[in-house]
Amino acid sequence: MRDYLVELRDKKGLTQRDVSSKLGISESYYNMIEHGARQKDMSIVLLYELSLIFKISLKSLVDKELNFIKRRINV
């Protein structure tokens, strides 16, 4: 699970519906992204869009995603 996305979303007071609407995707698809079931290798475009939504630097978001990947593959 991408806990960092849940934390960022909660800090901004956004729902999954809010974020998915801003991304132009379904709420269920965004839910799967947060849970790691989709976008296992998240695209830079999606990371960039999320950085704009959460008002966080792209580098910070990439670092969070890299930590998620490292945990997923136990590195």
CATH number (domain holding residue 35): 1.10.260.40
What are the pLDDT tens digits along the chain (75 aa)? 999 999 999 999 999 999 999 999 999 999 999 998 988 889 999 999 999 999 999 999 999 999 999 988 886
Structural domain boundaries, residue 26: 3-72
- What pLDDT is stored for residue 58 in this prediction? 98
> Residue 73: in which H helix or E strand, if any?
none
Q: Does the predicted TM-score (pTM) go above 0.75?
A: yes
Q: Rounded to an integer, what distance in angstroms lies between the CA atom of residue 60 and that of residue 25?
A: 23
Cα-Cα-Cα-Cα dihedral sign, residues 34, 50, 59, 12: negative
- Number of structural domains found in the chain: 1
- What pLDDT is stored for residue 41 in this prediction? 85
SS3 at position 14: coil
